[in-house]
Amino acid sequence: MASAHAIQIKPDNTGMWQIRQSEPAAKKATDLLQKDFETHHCFFNSEGFHNHISHHILALYGTGASPEDLEKAYDDNASYQRSMYQVHEDRIEALHDWEKAKQRMGKEQYYTDFLVFFQREIQKLGWEKVLDQYMFKGDERSEDMLIRMHGGFLHPLIQLMYGVEWQQPAIVAMALAQAAVHEDNLRSFLLTAEEASKSASTPMPSIASLLDVVKADEKLATAAILGDSNKVRDGVLTRARDEIIRIAGQVKIKPEELDERTVEMYNTAIYEGAAAAIRPGKDAKFDFFLIHHINVCPIYLAFNKMRWVSTETKVRLLEWKIRMDLIQYAARACAPLSVDKITSYVPRDKKPGPAIELLPRIHSLEEDGHVVKLFRAIGVGQNASKEYEDKDWMKIKGDLWTKIGHMVFDGAETPGPTWIRGSGDPDAWKEVHDRAEPNKEHL
């Protein structure tokens, strides 16, 4: 049984894509996830680069990968991970005191202490009540945690997604501990934009149209430059803070719109990522930072199904996600977006079949999990979008799903970098190969 200390994956628990799995694959996933949980830090270096092993294993498992695929993925990525720090038993009890705990927030050396703290809280209260208390309560501590959960290019939230989606208390504890050691440099943006939204009109514009507004603002669209260490913090929030607040402040969801706006956010994130991945004359490459805004989307579908999460909280989470999408688009220099770009894409396969047929080839890639996570998130998004295909805001539908699935695989398989970093900046594409004539190089 899954607990705050033990991971337990079963063959009938494969996540939202609901692909069938085997008992041997479930056992292998359980063993590998437990090993990662017990031995590795959430950062694999002192610069805060994230350990993706748990995401990688569950994304593979949730798309039907074999035990051998799971073992290979673990082995490929375990070698460069850092070991867990020693637990400071005398400090754990002190973490109940927020005045003491806040002194350790944002400091990666306390990850193990926070992990043990949240394991014990989950063991005592259950993971749902722990999330309610430490993320959604609305007091100073939970507000701080919620802000940090959105840091690190959404990695703590992605970690939480896999814990929530697979109902694994130990992975939920990992996510909370990871959030606790992230910075809170999005605090001013998220809270100021939220305050600005109180005077916004409803219904709000479509999310795609807000992306267009971001691109149309020259100061905002050019605020981040290639040399910025952190393009959100050092670029957009330093050079165009008022401009992004003005646009992000227009995000205002009515409770009765929650389910539809959630799918609109999901579909639009995929549209944004896919359109930005196409640059004339170049191989298709997804933007490394924009893909995280796709990969995290299933958590909003999961939260919406949970009765213990208030509608007010669900609306707030969705609003924050849309604002994060807007600021990240600006930070990546606002690549031109259009459905026509995606429609015109020609996959490298001579006779491209349904995207799901690419899964065995996706599973065989040597990568750190970002490709399979993106592919899975798009598959889940396709299923979620079916109910709303007649809506005007729906950008991705029909055979565009097949094109995008092939685009993900093509970007990973073609020579050069797997990802682009700053898809709207021409300089970011210099290392990407020129695109060969479609369907000739991969027959």
Residue 34: strand pairing partners? none
Q: How far is CA 82 from CA 14, 27, 32, 88, 328, in A?
A: 28, 25, 16, 18, 29
* Cα 276 to Cα 286: distance, rounded to the nearest angstrom: 7
For residue 214, the one-letter residue type is V
Instruction: Flag whether 246 is in a domain.
Output: no
The per-residue pLDDT for range 315-349, each reduced to its tens digit, is 999 999 999 999 999 999 999 999 999 999 999 99
pTM: predicted TM-score of the whole model, two decimal places: 0.97
pLDDT at position 437: 62
* Cα 355 to Cα 212: distance, rounded to the nearest angstrom: 29
Asked if 262 and 297 count as a contact pair (C-beta separation under 8 A), the reply is: no
Domain-terminating residue out of 183, 211, 233: 183
User: Do both 145 and 22 map to the same domain?
Assistant: yes
Instruction: Flag whether 226 is in a domain.
Output: no
User: Do both 42 and 151 map to the same domain?
Assistant: yes
Q: Which of 166, 159, 154, 155 is nearest to 61 (CA)?
A: 166
Domain-terminating residue out of 183, 213, 241: 183
Write the secondary structure of 356-408 as one string of H (helix), E (strand) and C (coil). Answer: HHHHHHHHCCCCCCHHHHHHHHHHHHHHHHHHHCCCCCCCCCCCHHHHHHHHH
User: Do both 399 and 306 map to the same domain?
Assistant: yes
pLDDT at position 227: 87
Structure tokens at 330: 């600006």
* Cα 233 to Cα 28: distance, rounded to the nearest angstrom: 40
Instruction: Flag whether 41 is in a domain.
Output: yes
pLDDT at position 112: 97
Structure tokens at 65: 């990968």
User: Do both 260 and 179 map to the same domain?
Assistant: no
User: Do both 179 and 296 map to the same domain?
Assistant: no
Instruction: Flag whether 230 is in a domain.
Output: no
Domain-terminating residue out of 183, 208, 223: 183
* Residue 443 pLDDT class (50, 70, 90 cuts): very low
Strand, coil or helix: 341: helix
Instruction: Flag whether 211 is in a domain.
Output: no
Higher-pLDDT residue of 195 and 226 is 195
Asked if 418 and 367 count as a contact pair (C-beta separation under 8 A), the reply is: yes
pLDDT over threshold 50, residue 180: yes
* Residue 440 pLDDT class (50, 70, 90 cuts): very low
User: Do both 260 and 393 map to the same domain?
Assistant: yes
User: Do both 73 and 157 map to the same domain?
Assistant: yes
pLDDT over threshold 50, residue 158: yes
Average pLDDT, the chain: 96
The 10 Å Cβ neighbour count of residue 308 is 12
User: Do both 303 and 156 map to the same domain?
Assistant: no
Instruction: Flag whether 442 is in a domain.
Output: no
Q: Is the dihedral of CA 212, 214, 219, 223 positive or negative?
A: negative
The per-residue pLDDT for range 291-305, each reduced to its tens digit, is 999 999 999 999 999
* Cα 243 to Cα 440: distance, rounded to the nearest angstrom: 45
* Domains contained in the chain, number: 2
For residue 286, the one-letter residue type is F
Burial class (CB in 10 A: 0-12, 13-18, 19+), 186: buried
User: Do both 266 and 405 map to the same domain?
Assistant: yes
pLDDT at position 442: 42
* Cα 153 to Cα 52: distance, rounded to the nearest angstrom: 13
Structure tokens at 96: 């109940």
The whole-number average pLDDT for the span 130-158 is 98
Asked if 122 and 172 count as a contact pair (C-beta separation under 8 A), the reply is: yes
* Cα 234 to Cα 338: distance, rounded to the nearest angstrom: 28
pLDDT over threshold 60, residue 439: no
User: Do both 174 and 276 map to the same domain?
Assistant: no
User: Do both 177 and 260 map to the same domain?
Assistant: no
Alpha helices, DSSP H only, in 5-94?
Answer: 23-39, 53-61, 67-78, 89-92
List of residues 6+ apart from 281 with CB closer than 8 A: 434, 435
Instruction: Flag whether 372 is in a domain.
Output: yes
* Cα 257 to Cα 140: distance, rounded to the nearest angstrom: 28
Percent of the chain with pLDDT over 90: 96
Instruction: Flag whether 36 is in a domain.
Output: yes
* Cα 310 to Cα 82: distance, rounded to the nearest angstrom: 38
User: Do both 81 and 162 map to the same domain?
Assistant: yes
The 10 Å Cβ neighbour count of residue 315 is 19
CA 146 to chain centre: 15
Q: Quote the domain boundaries for residue 419.
A: 256-429
